[in-house]
Amino acid sequence: MKDHRSSRRRLVTGLSTAGLLTALPFTPLTAAKTYTPLKPPKKPSATLKAAPLPAQTFAGMVLNRLGYGITPGFMDENFFQGLGSNDANRLSQFVNQQLAGGNDVEVNQRINQAGTYETLNKTLNQLWVDYHIDINDQTSSSRPIYEHMRLKFLRSTYSLFPLRERIAEFWHDHFNIYGYDYYARSVWSSWDRDVIRTHMLGNFKDFLIATARHPAMLYYLDNHNNFDGDSNENYGREMIELHTLGVENYYGLAQPGDVPKIFVDESGGAWPGDGMIQKFYVDNDVYETARCLTGWRVNDSSSLGDTGEFYYDNGRHDNFAKAVLSGGYQNFPANKGEDDGLKVMEMLAYHPGTGKHIAGKLARAFISDNPPQQVIDDVAAVFHDNRAAANQLELVFKALFNHAAFSDPQYWQSKVKRPFDVVVSAMRACDADFTIQPDDGDSNSFGYRMDDTGHFPYDWRPPDGYPTDSAFWMNSTALVQTWKTVDWLIDHDSSGNTPDPLLPILPYVIQHFQNLPQTQLLPDNILSFWMSRIFDQTPTGGWTGDPVFESIMTFFLSRPSDLAYPQWPRSNFIEKDQLFENKWPYYWGTRLRGAVKLMIASPYFMQR
């Protein structure tokens, strides 16, 4: 019998959790490990929430919101307690450690072991040549996006730095591109690596410019087709409306001169000399921004070398003067060429409205659908004050996660997990040993089911990205298909010579109970064992009587379909071979798997 406590970690042989993580910047542990149970969260003001996990631990809260939940024996209460002397200290240390990143050992080992990830390390030009230009049949290959749609599961399930995965997910949604878009699909490895991950903790203006110069974005929002005299405003509009100021700062079709102004402490570039700029944008700013971006295109013609890289085409650029956010005054003089685009992005990135827009999105993604205004204002201030700093976004995230509103129990478990989050956190909580990878039958089967949830990574077509709003995901399709995906994971054995359950539900029970007296195999003990494993905490006095637990118990003790057999009495123990070998007529193994599916479908698991 394999030791399932270490099965998932067998890839990282020789390295303990502490060993992996102490390689990172780390303050010395304090000896104190006193653990005081928290008071139950206050009743939420919003009415969206179903019954929350009672007395959720601080560690559980942090790992569910800043990671993809608990990973038993690895990233759990014990691990978190070791990070510092009090919750605030531990949270701060966790954030520092996660943002710093490092060698993601298990992810890298699984990628190598899979051997089917071939596009990850190619440069933009290599990707373009290998997958976009295809002399033979003139169709581009989607191999890179195909690999990344699977890699996102692998990384999120096995990363030592799940917070970095969540942050990458946030920015992929923010600068959303439909993965199968014509150019994007062939160069996705570069978009993910060179743009999103390179800049996700860096400077926002640099980030914005990097998105604007990437072929995936240039094609997706049509700027490759934005010419002098025939300007295509699609990208200009979305850059303002989605990527920077946000539609909350839209003043409609008013004339620029009618928009209220604010003072900004900026100079040079396109900033008006008196420092007065429009507080909001109007349609004219969209047109003028689009003009600033004319000529920004992809080197995608053979006469230019067809490198797939960014190409500024001065012959396509509108070189007349322009006015953006200036009340109509032409703050972009004529004949500045490529600099128009760089300057307009500086104005947008440094505008105070952009900080507010992004701070609001962050608070709604990481704290609550209705976060307090104070955290938005405070994070927006950090965003704006550090607008020129190389580590601006790192500072922004630290301000957000260490903010009092983040730790305020009234906002705990107030968001519904999105389908991707449910599935990945179930794989972590159940200690999955399943490398989702290209060209693999099990991964294909998994993919078909995941696709039905409506939340496959990089599969959102419009440019606004997958919603984070809980209400969007509270519909029968998303809920049922997500649970069906988890069902499949729990019921499925790996293909190959030595089939093992992808999620070892029964093996953990066998391991726990096999050396205990058979009389310990009581229904309450069996289900309590898995409840405590999945939720990484046990209520004072045990699970018996907890309403979710009792609903699952009723299921567990259902009368067999063979009516010759009675309903199992709760006070009777179950014989080992009946359970361990899933024997007729009670099929305890099947019931156990059903019970764990219910734990995952429960409001305790579905909310973060």
Pick between residue 400 and residue 552 the one whose CB is nearest to other proteins: 552
Site for other proteins in 364-393 (CB under 8 A): none
The residue length of the chain stands at 608
Nearest approach in angstroms of CB 37 to other proteins is 23
Contact pick of 51, 304, 334, 516 for other proteins (by CB under 8 A): 51
As given in the structure block, the two tokens for residue 510 are: 């066998």
Query: What is the rounded CA–CA span in Å between residue 157 and residue 110?
Result: 11
**464 counts as binding other proteins under rule CB under 8 A:** yes
Query: What is the rounded CA–CA span in Å between residue 426 and residue 601?
Result: 10
Pick between residue 111 and residue 286 the one whose CB is nearest to other proteins: 286
Nearest approach in angstroms of CB 606 to other proteins is 8
As given in the structure block, the two tokens for residue 122 are: 């190619």
Pick between residue 10 and residue 583 the one whose CB is nearest to other proteins: 583
**607 counts as binding other proteins under rule CB under 8 A:** yes
Query: What is the rounded CA–CA span in Å between residue 220 and residue 177?
Result: 7
**471 counts as binding other proteins under rule CB under 8 A:** yes
Contact pick of 26, 555, 568, 573 for other proteins (by CB under 8 A): 555
8 Å CB contact between 533 and 76:
no
Residues contacting residue 243 through CB under 8 Å, at least 6 positions apart: 174, 175, 208, 211, 348
8 Å CB contact between 172 and 466:
no
Nearest approach in angstroms of CB 415 to other proteins is 10
Q: Other C-beta atoms within 10 Å of 13: how many?
A: 8
Contact pick of 374, 495, 554, 572 for other proteins (by CB under 8 A): 554
Site for other proteins in 219-238 (CB under 8 A): 222, 225, 227, 230-234, 237
Residues contacting residue 431 through CB under 8 Å, at least 6 positions apart: 4, 7, 8, 71, 72, 73, 503, 504, 508
> Of the ranges 43-51, 70-78, 161-169, 436-444, which one interacts with other proteins (CB under 8 A)?
43-51
Site for other proteins in 263-322 (CB under 8 A): 283, 286
Which residues lie across from 403 on neighbouring strands? none
Contact pick of 133, 321, 479, 510 for other proteins (by CB under 8 A): 479
**Residue 211 one-letter amino acid:** T
With CB under 8 A, what is the number of residues at the site for other proteins? Answer: 62
**253 counts as binding other proteins under rule CB under 8 A:** yes
**47 counts as binding other proteins under rule CB under 8 A:** yes
* Exposure class string for 164-197: b at 16+ Cβ within 10 A, else e: bbbbbbbbbbbbbbbbebebbbbbbbbbbbbbbb
Helix (H) or strand (E) holding 261: strand 261-263
Nearest approach in angstroms of CB 43 to other proteins is 11
**98 counts as binding other proteins under rule CB under 8 A:** no
Pick between residue 22 and residue 255 the one whose CB is nearest to other proteins: 255
Site for other proteins in 403-462 (CB under 8 A): 416, 452, 454, 461-462
Pick between residue 350 and residue 473 the one whose CB is nearest to other proteins: 473
**357 counts as binding other proteins under rule CB under 8 A:** no
Contact pick of 423, 429, 534, 598 for other proteins (by CB under 8 A): 598
Pick between residue 165 and residue 173 the one whose CB is nearest to other proteins: 173
Helix (H) or strand (E) holding 311: strand 310-312
**608 counts as binding other proteins under rule CB under 8 A:** no
Pick between residue 94 and residue 549 the one whose CB is nearest to other proteins: 549
Nearest approach in angstroms of CB 460 to other proteins is 11
**561 counts as binding other proteins under rule CB under 8 A:** yes
As given in the structure block, the two tokens for residue 527 are: 């289900």
C-alpha distances (whole Å) from 568 to each of 304, 522, 572 are 76, 11, 7
Which residues lie across from 250 on neighbouring strands? 281
> Of the ranges 19-27, 346-354, 467-475, 505-513, which one interacts with other proteins (CB under 8 A)?
467-475
Secondary structure of 120-135 as H, E, C letters: CCCCHHHHHHHHHCCC
Nearest approach in angstroms of CB 136 to other proteins is 23
Q: Other C-beta atoms within 10 Å of 3: how many?
A: 9
As given in the structure block, the two tokens for residue 186 are: 């062939």
Query: What is the rounded CA–CA span in Å between residue 266 and residue 274?
Result: 9
Site for other proteins in 486-525 (CB under 8 A): 487
**470 counts as binding other proteins under rule CB under 8 A:** yes
Nearest approach in angstroms of CB 525 to other proteins is 19
**545 counts as binding other proteins under rule CB under 8 A:** no
Please give the backbone phi and psi of residue 277, each rounded to the nearest 5 degrees, phi first: -125, 165
**602 counts as binding other proteins under rule CB under 8 A:** yes
**478 counts as binding other proteins under rule CB under 8 A:** yes
Pick between residue 117 and residue 281 the one whose CB is nearest to other proteins: 281
Pick between residue 186 and residue 470 the one whose CB is nearest to other proteins: 470
As given in the structure block, the two tokens for residue 407 are: 């730790």
* Exposure class string for 558-588: b at 16+ Cβ within 10 A, else e: eeeeeeeeeebeeeebbebebbbebeeebbb
**Residue 225 one-letter amino acid:** N
Percentages of the chain per state (helix, strand, coil), in multiples of 5: 50, 5, 45
8 Å CB contact between 93 and 83:
yes
Contacts with other proteins, residue ranges (CB under 8 A)? 47-51, 222, 225, 227, 230-234, 237, 241-242, 247, 250, 252-253, 283, 286, 416, 452, 454, 461-462, 464, 470-480, 483-484, 487, 547-548, 550-552, 554-555, 558, 561, 587, 590-591, 594, 597-598, 601-603, 606-607
